[in-house]
Amino acid sequence: MDLNGKTALVTGAASGIGAACARRYAEAGAQVICTDVADDAGQQVADEIGGQYRPLDVADSSAWSALAAEMAKDPGHLDLVHLNAGIMMGLGSIAEMSDDDYLRIVGINQHGVVFGLRAAVPLLEAAGGGHVLVTGSMASFSPLPVDLGYSMSKHAIAALVRSAAPNLAEQGISLNAVCPATVGTGFLGGNRDRLEAAGMVIMDSEEVAEAAMAILDSGLTGECFALLKGRAPEPFPFASIPGSDYRSRR
């Protein structure tokens, strides 16, 4: 996709998938607004790509409102929003999950996408339409017993994408999710070599960024694209409900 003259906003842009996507969008010609809570690293990425940096706690709805109000002063200049920010907590026992643990992972991984989408839609409408991409995970489709809060929140994101997309399409806005398998980000805690030696297949963040570009070029909406190392992103084939003629709107 040619992003020359376009403006893209990326959350969680200070590192990992967010930083790789910010760089890739800038390479395609976009003016990128990088957001994060890691101010120094986020500013560094923005400086590297000639973009802008805005501090943003995605779990704070008032912070989203303030950013949207700032951007609305210059209407018609937002074309792509990548809601990427997320965390893992590594909690596998529901009995050991505290209120703070639960609220933190749902706040960032789930509320952050809801608040971001809610803030972005009027800005994209003002620009005549645009694109929203959400970073999901293979945990959007399958259980992850070692981090049940992460899987729960990523399942919710898949449902949101599939449910919100039809109405947004009428406004000229596409909404999709990129759902990679294991990526070599800070989530691995410096254990990439050990995990690969044990046989785990790990992709680089740059591969996710290339997949993001392919998804934006696909012309599709309401899809959750599964991404495996070395393969093109593919819409995940959600099953129909057994025993009925109902078919889910994807």
Euclidean distance between CA atoms 78 and 68, whole angstroms: 10
Euclidean distance between CA atoms 30 and 6, whole angstroms: 5
Euclidean distance between CA atoms 66 and 70, whole angstroms: 6
The catalytic site residues sit at: 150
Euclidean distance between CA atoms 176 and 5, whole angstroms: 22
Euclidean distance between CA atoms 248 and 250, whole angstroms: 6
Nearest-CA neighbor of 182 among 158, 150, 204, 209?
204
Q: Judge contact between 105 and 87, C-beta under 8 A.
A: yes
Euclidean distance between CA atoms 89 and 101, whole angstroms: 8
Residue 125: what residue type? Answer: E
